[in-house]
Amino acid sequence: MRIAVTGAAHWHLDLFLPALLEEGDVVAVHDPDPAAARRIAEGLGARAATDVGTLLDDAAPDFVLALGAHDEMAATARTLIEHGTPFAMEKPCGLDAAQVHDIADRARDAGVFAAVPFVWRQSELLAVMRERFADADPPYLSFRWIAGPPTRYRDSGCDWMLDPARAGGGCTINLGVHFIDLARVLFGDDVQVSSATMSNAAYGLPIEDYSLVTLRSGGRVFVGEVGYLMPGPHSNFDMRFSIKARDHYVIATSPTDVEIVAPDGSREHVTAHTTNVAHYPVFVRDALRRVRAGEPPLASLTDMAAVMDLTRDAYALAGPLPVRPRTPQEGTR
């Protein structure tokens, strides 16, 4: 399978790349920054391009992993759909709900495979839960997932993540969408945003560095808490996932451990990957298998559009950020 990557300077490339190289040949790399495109392409022995249409015409890939800045994603998706090229696009696939609904409708009407890596759908944590109870059983779920500081985006050359005009927002649109999607998986389509609180107090940037969103479906409640607050390298998290289901209580406090409290109070520890990082290879292999088999994606642009509707509602409820953004001279502390 001939594979291409667009927007390859995105910091998530390394999460996808090993599985892509196992599954096929990466023949072309795109990035609007010529130096980044050449650097990444040379490392892979692939051709480089700064225009998505040119890359598709010259390399004729069988599948594209579409990364890149959020404000460029919708245009990239339209080009991929016009070419009829199967692709997977990193969330959020656009700046707002209107953009994502547009490309979702285009992909559906054209019959183009368009997957979104909502990797918690394929997580070992969800598998552990489903071994013990049905999706309809949990009345209460709380997911706290605090990632590293926003300075990591500058360190990786992705400064655009700190500009709401290019990123669409901060940790809510980048991290929180995973849990909004998971709420839809477990609760069904009848999900509403009950409350939302966001702040940029930690770093004083134009994007939120902390977000707490409560989702409801009838009496069922899902709490998603995310932030850019944890010092340390990429993929280190302050996390606690708590799920009440029937007579069981499930707790995850590390990327590899799940504790299950039984009705009699006894505790069982299960080794399982609980965060997103370990599941990107699973997503890649599954998406490519589905392309080869002619099957639809597990999560599509239509799912992303529904998540973006809820994300829009969360931002509206949260209101303006409370802290004046710092000037470039002030930087981040």
The residue with greater pLDDT, 333 or 119, is: 119
Q: Which of 5-9, 61-65, 97-101, 244-248 has the lowest mean pLDDT?
A: 244-248
What value does the mean pLDDT take over residues 155-176? 97
3-state secondary structure of 62: coil
Q: How confident is the model at residue 333 (pLDDT cuts 50, 70, 90)?
A: very low
Measured in degrees and rounded to the nearest 5, phi and psi for residue 237 equal: -135, 150
What value does the mean pLDDT take over residues 54-68? 98
For CA atoms 12, 289, 182, 255, give the dihedral sign.
Answer: negative
Q: Which helix (H) or strand (E) element contains residue 225?
A: strand 220-228
CB-based contact 182:120 (threshold 8 Å): yes
- Asked whether the predicted pLDDT for residue 327 surpasses 70, the reply is no
Q: Which of 55-64, 224-233, 263-272 has the lowest mean pLDDT?
A: 224-233
- Asked whether the predicted pLDDT for residue 332 surpasses 70, the reply is no
**The pLDDT value given to residue 303:** 98
**The pLDDT value given to residue 330:** 57
Q: Tell me whether strands 2-6 and 63-66 are parallel, antiparallel or unpaired.
A: parallel
What value does the mean pLDDT take over residues 204-208? 97
Strand order in the sheet with 114-115: 47-49, 25-30, 2-6, 63-66, 87-89, 114-115
Tell me how far apart the alpha carbons of residues 106 and 1 are, in angstroms, rounded to a whole number. Answer: 24
Tell me how far apart the alpha carbons of residues 326 and 42 are, in angstroms, rounded to a whole number. Answer: 38
Q: How confident is the model at residue 331 (pLDDT cuts 50, 70, 90)?
A: low
**The pLDDT value given to residue 326:** 75
Tell me how far apart the alpha carbons of residues 282 and 18 are, in angstroms, rounded to a whole number. Answer: 11
Rg (CA), the chain: 20
For 188-279, where are the alpha helices, taking DSSP H only?
Answer: none
**The pLDDT value given to residue 232:** 73
Average pLDDT across the chain, whole number: 95
- Asked whether the predicted pLDDT for residue 7 surpasses 50, the reply is yes
**The pLDDT value given to residue 236:** 80
pTM of the model as a whole:
0.96
What value does the mean pLDDT take over residues 229-241? 85
- Asked whether the predicted pLDDT for residue 252 surpasses 70, the reply is yes
